[in-house]
Amino acid sequence: MRRDDNRNLTSTEIAKLAGVSRSTISRVINGYSNVPQKTRDHVMAVIRQYNYYPHLSGQLLVGKKVGTLGFFWIKGGDGSIAQDDLSSSYLVHVIEAAARLGYLTLTCILENLDDLTNIDWVKKTYMQGRIDAGIFIGVNNDEPVIEELIAGGQIVGIFDHYHPDDISPNRISVNYEKDTGCKIIKYLHDLGHKKIALLYGDDNRYSSVTRKQGFLHGMAECGITVNPEWMCLGGIDDQQGYIAAKNMITKAIAAKELPTAICANNDAVAFGAYKALKEMGIKIPDQISVIGIDGHSRMVRPSLTTYAFDYYEVFSSLVARTIAAVEDIEDNPTTEFINGRLLERDSIKDIRGEG
């Protein structure tokens, strides 16, 4: 048989070229032991010579994995994905972590998971067997389509997600350490800050809930009075942070008492606060200190003090444990909490000794 085109040959054609039955080709490809070594070597030589790849549909029929993870990135509250080094690295880390373990990545960026078309797209990607499991970023902690997939036995890996009462082996998650907010408050308190404003996050995000709880717990431990006027929903992005900070500072100016520091739910919200304070003529950190959480390297002046996380470690953990679930590896932890570290930069002022 001559091959005069670029199409992928069928298993029947490969069988004719090798002089064996089609079932022998199938047994060799699927690793069955009941094939003589000489025959196996001959068949593999023909397969390599003609660059034969078995059709995906046939592999699925015999229960084979496709060696592909879906990567579903749900856009942020402002309808966009941040184009900074940190956010862009999420995708790179997932792809590289999967590749290290021999898996490809199928990427899908969606506006939200409220639209039925988007929900159907996610479910179809699973049900058609295009992927062995999915990695999700940007979903709520209680997301109906996620719960439906898990209930149906699909393997789901999720960044920033935790259900302590459900230890289903196909619900895989990775999270920030729980006491980040408390550590930040204690850091500020040690520098003399007792008038602290909080721009907390959306209660639908697990990390936002734990950070808010941590902020309040830290303030209670340090004996810091919580000013209700300085507690604002700052959301998860720049614009939400800008609006919240501007409204809060406007009221503070009217009351003739400013906080000495602002704790933001994440770095994006902190950058929004930067914009608001600049517009209002308030200097950072001379008049108000600002601290974020994440570890962004965005170029702002003064540079932002933040509680940073190693996202290589974050996504390596998530991808490795998701693939372990695909491959039925025993003793596979369903969740992991990743510790961070304080990055002291220029946006915090030491006010110990001031009146």
pLDDT higher than threshold 70 for residue 97? yes
114 and 198 inside one domain: no
Helices (H), 152-266: 180-190, 206-222, 238-254
254 and 133 inside one domain: no
The pLDDT value recorded for residue 78 is 43
Q: Which of 269, 290, 309 is the last residue of a domain?
A: 309
pLDDT digits (tens, 9 = 90+) for 271-295: 999 999 999 999 999 999 999 999 9
Q: What is the DSSP string of 8-49?
A: PPPHHHHHHHHTS-HHHHHHHHTT-S-S-HHHHHHHHHHHHH
Range of the domain at 96: 68-177+311-339
| Residue 83 banded pLDDT, cuts 50, 70, 90 | very low
Q: CATH number for the domain including 34?
A: 1.10.260.40
| Residue 84 banded pLDDT, cuts 50, 70, 90 | low
| Residue 232 banded pLDDT, cuts 50, 70, 90 | very high
Read off the tokens for 183: 């550590």
The pLDDT value recorded for residue 62 is 47
167 and 196 inside one domain: no
| Residue 49 banded pLDDT, cuts 50, 70, 90 | confident
221 and 281 inside one domain: yes
187 and 283 inside one domain: yes
Burial zone of 153 (CB within 10 Å; 0-12 exposed, 13-18 middle, 19+ buried): exposed
pLDDT higher than threshold 60 for residue 6? no
pLDDT higher than threshold 70 for residue 113? yes
Contact call for residues 273 and 237 (beta carbons, < 8 A): no
169 and 209 inside one domain: no
216 and 304 inside one domain: yes
pLDDT higher than threshold 60 for residue 79? no
The answer to the question of residue 351 being in a domain is no
pLDDT digits (tens, 9 = 90+) for 175-223: 999 999 999 999 999 999 999 999 999 899 999 999 999 999 999 999 9
